[in-house]
Amino acid sequence: MKKLYSALMTAFNEDGSVNLDGVREMVRYNIDVNHIDGLYVGGSTGESFMLSTEEKKNIFKVAYEETAGKAHLIAQVGSLNLNEAKELAKYVTDLGYPMISAVTPFYYNFSFEQIKNYYNSILEGVDNKLIIYSIPALTGVALSLDQFAELFENPKIVGIKYTNADFYLLERVRNRFPDKLILSGFDEMLLPALALDVDGAIGSTFNLNAPRVKEEIAAFEAGDIKKARELQTLSNDYITDLLNNDLYPTIKLVFEKLGVHAGYCKEPMSKPTPEMEAGAQKIYEKYFKK
């Protein structure tokens, strides 16, 4: 069966400091309730691009300890600071993470040669496997088929977290690289990604919605496309409601209603408002209340 990864969130206290106990609770929920296949730690869902190196290390350590081998772990170590990315890659590898990931370097309109050097530099002296985190809508970096091929010349680069609405490119990548790991990154487009033979998916909404998504994957693999479509529609209704209520704070508010201390988001992300609280209550009652 194709693998499902939750993009792990970070719990913050109201003052913006990391709440490691809350991180532990979210890891446990994903393992004990969601029965998740894996966790993607340190990604954008974890608000990691607003964290210090030490905060990132603490989260990687807590996630590793709390998972205790019960789920596969991928550490997102990418950073505009290449030295930090290299330091984090070594740190998580020494901890025991079996795979790392790195977002394409963004903002400065880097050339492909610079991007290639970035990935190869992260992997120098690190005995680990890496998947490219490709998310063009947020980074402005849209890698081509031939550029993926050139990056794959490094044997340590084994796949892609593919968060891209270009499904023509996805088909071309899957066809050209049948042995590479491709994990879909758009929760709302999981079903068409499954049809293009991705190996699984990573997503923020799976923190709450994993059981329904695993049912969808099972239906797809059993050839019950009608049921899979119905489940994707239900998931997309849920995703729409989250987006309309402010995605990350709302997931954390619903977590709280499920007894998980997910805390706050880090500013400049939003603090909960009464309207947001009311919206989260409706989402909880509609999709998760037993």
What are residue 212's DSSP bridge partners? none
45 is in an annotated binding site: yes
The 3-state DSSP class for residue 233 equals: helix
52 is in an annotated binding site: no
246 is in an annotated binding site: no
Is 133 an annotated catalytic residue? yes
The 3-state DSSP class for residue 201 equals: strand
Q: 90, 129, 161, 266: which is the annotated catalytic residue?
A: 161
Residue carrying structure tokens 């970096």: 141
160 is in an annotated binding site: no
204 is in an annotated binding site: yes
One-letter amino acid at 133 equals: Y
Q: What is the 3-state secondary structure (H, E, C) of 97-113?
A: CCEEEEECCCCCCCCHH
185 is in an annotated binding site: yes
CB of 11 closer than 8 Å to CB of 262: yes
6 is in an annotated binding site: no
d(CA 39, CA 23) in angstroms, rounded, equals 12
Q: Cα dist. 226→35, 151, 184, 223, 249 in Å? A: 25, 38, 21, 9, 32
d(CA 193, CA 52) in angstroms, rounded, equals 34
Per-position DSSP letters for 38-102, written without gaps between them: EEEESSGGGTGGGS-HHHHHHHHHHHHHHHTTSSEEEEE---SSHHHHHHHHHHHHHHT-SEEEE
Q: 133, 162, 238, 284: which is the annotated catalytic residue?
A: 133
Annotated binding-site residue numbers: 44-45, 163, 185, 187-188, 202, 204
Catalytic residues: 133, 161
Annotated binding-site residue numbers for pyruvate: 45, 202
Annotated binding-site residue numbers for aceneuramate: 44-45, 163, 185, 187-188, 204
